[in-house]
Amino acid sequence: MKLKGIFVPNVTPFTGQGHIDYDKLGSLVDFWLESGVSGIVVNASTGEAPLLSREERVELIGYVKDRMGGKGRLVAGTGAIGTRETIELTRDAKEAGAEAALVAPPFFYRPSDIEVYRHFSSLLGSVDLPVIFYNVPKFTGYGVPPRVVNRIVDECSNLVGIKDSSGSPGNQAENIRLFGSKISVLSGAADMTLPTLTMGGKGAILAVANAIPETCVALYEAALRGDLEEAGRLQLKVSYVNKVIVREHSQIAAVKAALASLGHPAGVPRRPLRPLPPGEERQVVEEFRQRETL
Task: Give residue 150's identity as a one-letter amino acid code.
Answer: N
Q: Among residues 163, 202, 237, 256, which one is catalytic?
A: 163
31: Cβ–Cβ under 8 A, 6 or more apart, which residues?
213, 264
Q: Among residues 63, 117, 134, 220, which one is catalytic?
A: 134
Clarify whether 163 is annotated catalytic. Answer: yes
Distance CA 61, CA 55 (A): 10
The string of DSSP codes covering 225-245 is TT-HHHHHHHHHHHHHHHHHH
Give the other-Cβ count within 10 Å of 95's Cβ. 12
Sign of the Cα pseudo-torsion (64, 66, 70, 74, in order): positive
Give the other-Cβ count within 10 Å of 224's Cβ. 14
Beta partners for residue 292, in sequence order? none
45: Cβ–Cβ under 8 A, 6 or more apart, which residues?
9, 77, 136, 139
Sign of the Cα pseudo-torsion (95, 101, 105, 108, in order): negative
Task: Give residue 170's identity as a one-letter amino acid code.
Answer: G
Clarify whether 63 is annotated catalytic. Answer: no
Distance CA 163, CA 137 (A): 12
Give the other-Cβ count within 10 Å of 91's Cβ. 16
- Please list the active-site residues: 134, 163
